[in-house]
Amino acid sequence: MQKAMKTCADESCLPVVFLQRSSEILTVPAMKHEKPSKNLPGRSELLMPAGSLETLKTAVLYGADAVYMGTPDMSMRSKSQLTLEDVVEGVRFAHTHGVRVYLALNVITHNKDIARLPTYLETVRVVAPDGLIVADPGVFAYVREHAPDIPLHISTQANVCSWLTVDYWQKQGADLVVLAREVSFAELEEIREKCPDIKLEAFVHGAMCMTYSGRCLLSNYMAERGANQGSCANSCRWEYKVHLKLKDGTLQELTINEDNAGLFDFFLEEGYRPGELLPIEEDQNGSYILNAKDLCLMPKLNDYLRIGVDSLKVEGRGRSPYYVAINARAYRAAIDDYYADPQGWRPRPYMRELETVGNRGFSLAFHNGRLTNYAHNYDDTRTLAEWEFAGSIAAIRDDAFVIDVKNKLEAGDVLEFVPPRTRETILLRLYDFLLENGQTVTEVHAGRKQRLVVPFTAFDREDPAHLQAILPPLTVIRKEKSLTREEWARLKLDKTAAWREQGKSTDAVYATNRKTLSVALEEKLMDRRARSPRLGTEGCCGKGCNGCAIFWHDPSYAKARALLAEKKIGEML
């Protein structure tokens, strides 16, 4: 296995390593066939986004059944880092590892776009993807005529919300229909029942648009960037300030209550356009009045698997490899565990994993038929989590891992290595950092493009051969993030809102947590704290990390060390 890992340091191949519910490692060689194998009968595929070659390979490594990608000129992501050459390489790589690839050609075309279609299709024929995602009926007809052998998938941008429309596209020759996010689960069940002979795809995770299936002109108006040409400026995420205008024409900052609300007109001022006032008709609770929370259907995933949705899609072609890795890992485990034991399946273990990725708060969105007030974040637009992307394994030397740093690291930080195909993570506390140039420092900044060298000997409770077997190149690493009081309050409110949406909390608890966040926002306390101590000076955090001097060498923790011998490292004592 060690020799195999050496040949994979350049990311040209990936070993497939599985470990489920035991300490036995089962190694399976990577598939060599040119086209991917089909899903087992009756199983839904996990479809992950790929905005770059790195994220594509990460998605493959962390268990995607299929990936979707596109070049910036003809798909809905103008910031995609993929060239046509990258697409060719990406498809070859995915097919080598038994993973399907769908290409996005889902822009709403203008006349200027049509001239590029012939060249695009010539490349597509060479690439031989497993599906082409289109939204424009004209593009659909063009591809059907000029490349009839390419399977066509109807994009979510086509706003398909009924079984009648699914049936229409099936009769036109579509192989798969991506349903609009606005489709409720009850509607999805009926569509599945009435359209059993066409593949259905549904979004289960990712960012939500505040308007109907992305049919928005706000970006065009505010920034002259076409939302349906792949250049959305996300104007709905911007901060807007409410201004009150007296009838005499003067502007004042006034507190609105029931007694004086009828005296004023209301206006919005966007942060980068001071003095440009946009009239609104009513007051809103907070500044980010258009800011939808992120979709997360993990709590209801068993319903989608039960009725046989063919493809479960995670949004995010503009997201980081960490986002792709952790979400793929969580949904891969959830899907596999459901098929192993449908009756015993519960969402909580996988939700804990998803919560380590920055998000705007999770919502079931339209699952139950309509949005609730819990599906919007009126106070903040940032993605937030207790954890952050620390780095990824760039290469493996004879005696060490070489790590690309993605966020600031400080002495005492605990790095959590997240293996692609095992359920257990590996913790490592470092008090200093060895750079690739041989220098030892106590602080590392990602912006300086510094690489770390982490010797296998730093893992004082792990077998080096085992580490190399389960931690291939592209393995992601996370670390605990220090948050302000305001950020901790928002995370608590987000979680309460998600529980309330699922009927697991009360309005009173939500109101209390909302008040706590409001107070924190007003006080603007900027001190940051982590959940566990960094250097152990405040006491042991109880995780027993590799390399933790205070835990492994302080006589005070002898009893704790004995207890940990019966547990796994990282499990709180």
Contact in structure between 423 and 20 (CB atoms under 8 Å): yes
Tell me the CA distances in angstroms from 386 to 47, 357, 376, 398, 424, one per residue in order: 26, 8, 20, 34, 19
Domains of the chain with CATH codes: 36-208+292-345 (3.20.20.70), 387-481+532-564 (2.40.30.10)
Digit-by-digit pLDDT tens for the chain (573 residues) are 333 333 343 433 343 333 332 333 333 333 333 455 545 557 999 999 998 999 999 999 999 999 999 876 555 554 556 777 888 899 999 999 999 999 998 888 889 889 988 888 887 888 889 999 999 999 999 999 999 999 999 999 899 999 999 999 999 999 999 999 999 999 999 999 999 999 999 999 998 876 556 666 566 656 666 655 556 666 666 766 666 666 777 766 556 666 766 676 767 676 666 776 766 544 333 456 677 899 999 999 999 999 999 999 999 988 999 999 999 999 999 999 999 999 999 999 999 999 999 999 999 999 998 777 788 777 777 889 999 999 999 999 999 999 999 999 999 999 999 999 899 999 999 999 999 999 999 999 988 788 999 999 999 889 999 999 999 999 999 999 999 999 999 999 999 999 999 999 998 999 899 888 878 877 776 678 877 776 654 567 778 889 888 888 888 888 888 888 888 888 776
CA distance 341 to 245: 61
Of 325, 66, 330, the closest CA to residue 176 belongs to 66
- Which of 2, 28, 61 shows the shortest CA–CA distance to 463? 2
**pLDDT, position 565:** 83
DSSP strand pairing (294-296 vs 362-363): parallel
CB within 8 Å of 447: residues ≥ 6 apart = none
pTM of the complete model: 0.82
- Altogether, the residues listed in the chain come to a count of 573
The CA distances from residue 316 to 19, 207, 232, 313, 359, in Å, are 27, 8, 14, 10, 12
In the DSSP assignment, the letter for residue 344 is T
pLDDT (0 to 100) of residue 278: 64
pLDDT of residue 28: 30
State the pLDDT at residue 10. 41
Distance CA 393, CA 416 (A): 12
Q: How far apart are CA 510 and CA 508, in angstroms?
A: 5
Buried b / exposed e across 298-331, counting CB within 10 Å, b at 16+?
A: bbbbbebbeeebbbbbbbbbbbbbbbbbbbbbbb
Question: What pLDDT is attached to residue 266?
Answer: 67
Task: Collect all residues with Cβ–Cβ distance below 8 Å to 494 and sequence separation of at least 6.
Answer: 293, 359, 360, 361, 362, 377, 384
